[in-house]
Amino acid sequence: MGSCLSCVDILTALYFEVLRVDIQNPRAIERDRFILSKGHGAPALFQVLAMRGFYPEAWLDNYGVDGGVFAEHPPTPDHLAGIEAATGSLGHGLPIGLGMALAARVQQQRYKVYAVLSDGECNEGSVWESAMLAASQKVSDLCVVVDFNKWQATGRSEEVLALAPLAEKWRAFGWNAVEVDGHDMNALLDAFARFALGGERPTAIIAHTVKGKGVSFMEDDNNWHYRIPTAEEVAKAKIELGVAA
């Protein structure tokens, strides 16, 4: 839950204001592509896709049901509308997105590709291999958003493997890089608008976020990387988020 709450504002900005998608034709070739590379945030993506109209929100009642389409991580695209790639093994989303962006160039398409990564995921060598290739090929229609909530599975991201200075690292690899408050909708939309202006470089948006954002007893507590809330905690969280029945 903590990982979902840190990225849900980013997903909302993308699906309701930025991405060119058609819920009636979700596989249209000209659509923008979005990849949730941090697949453990899938419940947030499932919720946003439902609210955007890709499928009825009532379907979400079957989350985690044996044989259902909603699992811990995004399924393959043929299982659920709006999903571009099955993810969760970290470090794969950016390479896949880069391939899609290069395919657009070959096919003379103008769609853009967005990938949301976790900060801990930036430990993966495949992320930086892809970053170098994207810069060398001037893949300017590719945008990475790093959900920088300062935590990963076993501890503080900076203590596990030094990430700082993260934005400067992306710039050193040849990317445009900006830092924003990942819970400030105007700041996010401004960063996406600047990416849309184009140029010769791919873009990295370093979104500073809070794990468990919006729920007092979850905020910045890495136990919520794993914990399942009790019914009482769910009720309390709904009140704090303003969604209590």
For 131-149, write each residue's pLDDT tens digit: 999 999 999 999 999 999 9
Q: Hey, what CATH topology would domain 2-241 get?
A: Rossmann fold (3.40.50)
pLDDT of residue 69: 86
178 vs 145: CA distance, rounded Å: 10
d(CA 86, CA 67): 16
Among residues 81, 104, 86, the alpha carbon closest in space to that of 24 is found at 81
CA–CA separation, 10 vs 151, rounded Å? 17
**Paired tokens of 51:** 């609210």
Check pLDDT > 70 for residue 245: no
Contact predicate 32/195, CB 8 Å = no
Angle between helices 2-13 and 42-52 (to 10 degrees): 40
Q: In the chain, what percentage of residues exceed pLDDT 90?
A: 91
Distances (CA, A) of 46 to 72, 74, 88: 10, 8, 14
Structure tokens at 33: 């592509």
User: Of 133, 152, 140, 148, nearest to 225 (Cα)?
Assistant: 152
Each residue's pLDDT tens digit, 86-102? 998 999 999 999 999 99
| Gap between the terminal Cα atoms of the chain | 20
Q: Is the pLDDT of residue 172 over 90?
A: yes
User: Mind listing the pLDDT tens digit for each residue in 179-222?
Assistant: 999 999 999 999 999 999 999 999 999 999 999 999 999 999 99
